[in-house]
Structure 1
């Protein structure tokens, strides 16, 4: 399925114990991809982890539709700026097909106001024929909004966040942030 996806150790992926539903088995490449996605959701982005994504990939959740490396990378690096705490409460891969489907429950604490929010979502990880991530959909409560107004705001967010959040340009800048 994939051609030369680096290993979890090469990418410094922190989530090595990927939980799967009974009867679900992931290939080594799928383990690497899912581990990297779980790290991103935990606010632990890095340039090597984002190298698993296509340049034209899309990240979509109820707040954004971010297409293109500059836009989706800013979304992941933005988690570090927006939240003082991110705690994964549960995760489980429930389908190893394409997309890979992952149940995820995460607790976030918003910086500055200390408001806590728990989000239960189904994450769909779409891979291209080289095993690179082409799209990640984070469906809160299993759904994404659909409609002209909500989609307009989601696209606006995707354009605005990269203007506020800087993404490291190289490994040295990434390391300075602790990634």
Structure 2
């Protein structure tokens, strides 16, 4: 949850030594343009998938999603999120989560719920306050499944400004993607700064290292910050 952005530049060279079977060689000779074009198309698809965020879209595409009004089943979720991102966590702020929930942002991967609590309970220790300047519920894109009932996704675009001792530190734009179970509880909370994809082990060796670093960071925070919300943020 630290505000300084961390940029990773990743380059990957793949060298393939492949002698295709005779049948493939014949087909390549017969229609080389088709096979070359198809290979390029597949390569582009793989490269694009490296940049897809939790909504299954690129950052540019998810920024274009239309806003919508809240559903009745989202009222608790919205209340909890606004409390957490306003640096005012309470026990009720975690009602939206399932016990086995996972929180993933550019810096940490926290699971289960007890570790998620430590991430947000530590925010008031880092920042004197924060304000939610923009909070937009977005239409779920067709790249996300849309089952009936509460077992579905909630996608949010938000701007949060963080302060320390009354001084503005930074305004951070984030894409929030929440996945819920059949009971309506959040099982996965993904926060992506500027809508840019968060990396994990599915992104190859560098992604695997990144996931390990994030899990270690979450464990360290959990040891330093208790599950119980700070006293001055509890409901009176």
TM range (shorter): 0.7 to 0.9
Structure 2 unaligned runs (5+)?
1-65, 141-145, 147-151, 200-206
Higher helix share: 2
Matched, 1:107 2:156: no
State the shift of 1:150 in Å.
2.1
For 1:118, the equivalent position in structure 2 comes to: 171
Indicate conservation of the 8 Å contact 1:61/1:137, yes or no: yes
Deviation string 1:101-141 (CA, Å, 9 cap, x unpaired) is 10010111356xx5712111110011110011111101101
Q: Please point out which of 221, 225, 231 is paired with 1:165.
A: 225
For 2:132, the equivalent position in structure 1 comes to: 88
For 1:137, the equivalent position in structure 2 comes to: 190
1:164/1:177 CA distance change after superposition, 3 Å: same
For 2:107, the equivalent position in structure 1 comes to: 63
Structure of greater Rg:
2
Q: How many residues align?
A: 152
Q: Distance in 1 between matches of 2:112 and 2:170?
A: 28
Structure 1 unaligned runs (5+)?
1-20, 169-173
State the shift of 1:69 in Å.
1.6
Deviation string 1:127-159 (CA, Å, 9 cap, x unpaired) is 110011111101101123321232222111110
SS at match of 2:87: coil
Indicate conservation of the 8 Å contact 1:102/1:122, yes or no: yes
Per the normalisation by structure 1, the TM-score is: 0.76
Q: Distance in 1 between matches of 2:231 and 2:129?
A: 19
Q: Distance in 2 between matches of 1:26 and 1:109?
A: 28
Indicate conservation of the 8 Å contact 2:176/2:191, yes or no: yes
Q: Distance in 2 between matches of 1:154 and 1:109?
A: 24
Matched, 1:49 2:93: yes
Higher strand share: 1
The more displaced of 144-153 and 29-38 is 144-153
For 1:171, the equivalent position in structure 2 comes to: none
Indicate conservation of the 8 Å contact 2:80/2:95, yes or no: no
State the shift of 1:51 in Å.
2.6
